[in-house]
Structures are given as C-alpha cells and as structure tokens.
Amino acid sequence: MTEPTPEPEAAKKTEPEPEPEPVPNLPVRPPVPPMLAKPVKAMPKQDGTLFYEPKWDGFRCIVFRDGDEVYLGSRNERPFTRYFPELVEAVRAELPGRVVVDGEIVLPMGTQLDFDALQQRIHPAKSRVSMLSERTPAQFIAFDLLAVGDESLLEAPFAERRARLEKLFPEEKGGSVRLTPVTTSEEQAGEWFEMFEGAGLDGIIVKPGDQPYVPDKRTMFKVKHERTADVVICGYREHKTGPIVGSLLLGLYGDDGRLHHVGVAASFPMKRRAELVEEIRPYLAELSEHPWGHWAEQAAANAGQPAAGPATGGQRVPGAVSRWNAKKDLSFIPLRPELVIEVAYDQMEGDRFRHTAQFRRWRPDRTPESCTYEQLERPVSYNLDDVLAR
C-alpha cells in the first residue's frame, strides 16, 4: 500500500481543490486517515488470528459512497475524486448504495501494475484527466470494510470486516472494483511473497484478525522484498539544514554504455552526513565534464519534461523539474563516477529504484563500469488477473 504522492504544486495553483463536502448520512465520513502497517523483516508466524494479503503498489484510497455521491479519499486527506472519474462511475455501478471501503487504486498495464503510469494520472488539467481516464483506466482493489448502510464497522474485528466485505463480492466479475485475495496460511503467504512480485506487487500485508480499524495507527505488519546492488556514486544533493550530504545520487550503466540515474541513498545520521562530505570531496567534478552534465541545458530548455524523456534520449538524469513540486531544487553537486557502494533496495520501477535505497557498505573492489543493470534480480512475470482470481 503505497503512500499517495502529494498533489502537484501546479494543480494547487491552476485548479484549487474545493473544500470537500461531507458525504451525508454515512456513519463514517471523510476525511478518514487509513490504518497503517509497520515494516518487519520476516513473515509473522501464524498465531491463529492472522490474515495475509498481497501488498498492492498504488495509491491508498478510502471510497465513500452514498447513492450517486462518491468521494475518493487519499492518505493525505486530499481527495482523488477529480483524478479518477472512471472509478467514480465504477463505484456507482459495482458497490452497494451506501458503503465505505478501504483499498488501493492501481493501474494495470497488460498483466502487471504500472506505478509510473499511475502517477501520470495526477494532473491539473481537466481535459488531460479525462483523456487519461479513457487511455489508462485505473482499478480499485478493496481490502477492508469500514461501514455499510447505517452501520459503522470501525470497532468490529478485522475477521468480521473481511467476512462482510466478501459478501459484497459474491463472485469475481473482473470489473474495475476488485477484491484482494486473502489467506490464513503462512505457507501460502510465503508463496505469494515470491510469486506475485512478477505482477508488480511488492510484498505481503499481515493483519491481526481480532483488531478493530484504528485510523492512522500502525497496527498491521508489512513484509517487503529487499535486495542489494552495487552502484556508482555520481553526485550528491545538500541537506536542507546546510552543506552536508542530503542524498547520494546513484547510477548504473546500461547496455548503451551510458550511466543512468537510478535513485538515491539518503538515510544517514546527521554526523555521518557531515563525514561523507569530507570523504567524497576529492571526487568533486565540473558539471561540464560529468556524464550528466548536459542535463542543465536540457532542463532549462525543456522545463517540466520527465527525467528520462525525449529530451534526454531515454537516459535517466536527475536534474529535471519535479512534476510534484515545481519549486523543489533538484540540482546536484557532481562527483567523478569512481566510487562504488552496495545498497539495499526493495523493488524496481521501470529502470530505477522504486524507493530510497539503503547504504550497506563501500565496495572498493568493484570498478564503476562493472555496475550494470545485469546484476539486478528481475522477478518472474506473473499475470495480475491470476492474483485476483485467488
């Protein structure tokens, strides 16, 4: 259950989001911050109460429906309603007349999920929202029931909420509102953990069956994939507090021989951030001599272009304007691409790390040129419809 990406700054300026009207006559009303999960390293052992579900890679969303009135609430309490008109219609067609359902907005592309395409759905222009809703329609994966009719289920244990939710889906119809699979078998959950990644899912959520729904509290558990890779340090961005390392910019060489930006490592104690500045100082480089040095001119000429678009010939570079915050400074201090580190990562999003990578150790025994995409473990492909059919 991925945290929803903040609404783009441009959307706030050009089309301010109106204050949401409360959905009338529902026992649970927006905004409701969703219940969360705490990360754990290993799959929790079955104690007789646990339920295991696939961890979906999308935007967390709570759906409120009262007749024709539909409200799609996000984790940051800014509604998704305007960005997913096709889901509003699907909720009216496929869910009961008065219901509150917790779940995830996902975007299937072929047999897999595409989070990058899902991010493109958050756009300030109504015409583009309409076009994308037809070109790349989203789906809603339901996994909890907060209210039905006049009854709030927040105090009910999850086992009861799940049983009531299943009654809303007497059979898998393959529509736009789907029901997530669930198991009480720890062994089955282990198989799902390995198998479903190929469809774009990124782990397992574990829910105690005897607990109520507690908004904004981490009472569930999540088990995510973790792998390691050797990457090149290509530069760094300064921390917001001053001239110390905020994040290290990471690169991998592609089949084309070019060095691609694949993500950042940023989780360092403050003392270590200051030490890193001194350690990498001998490798400072001129931007004009850096493999990504061309980004500045292109970013100026193509402001707002994606980081790996036509302007960069498909090469991932770190200097493009952020589409989520136009004021965010994405400039960086270049380093000669000679230092190699090992990082831990959970999954890939296309050709880059989906989340911030974690520093593990220096790799003085590795040459930068040996840090290629070939070392990355690729999950076996798995059909998304087969996941939901379970």
Compute the distance between CA of residue 178 and CA of residue 142 in angstroms, rounded to an integer.
6
Q: Which of 12, 41, 45, 55 is catalytic?
A: 55
Compute the distance between CA of residue 159 and CA of residue 144 in angstroms, rounded to an integer.
10
Question: In a 3-state reduction of DSSP, which class is residue 106?
Answer: strand
Burial label for 99, CB within 10 Å (0-12, 13-18, 19+), is: buried
Give 296-333 as a DSSP string.
Answer: HHHHHHTTT--TTSGGGTT---S-SPPSS-TT-----E
Compute the distance between CA of residue 350 and CA of residue 369 in angstroms, rounded to an integer.
21
According to DSSP, residue 183 is labeled B
Question: In a 3-state reduction of DSSP, which class is residue 384?
Answer: helix
Helices (H), 113-248: 115-119, 126-135, 158-167, 186-195
Q: Is 55 a catalytic residue?
A: yes
The token duo for 14 is: 């050009």
- Which amino acids are annotated catalytic? 55
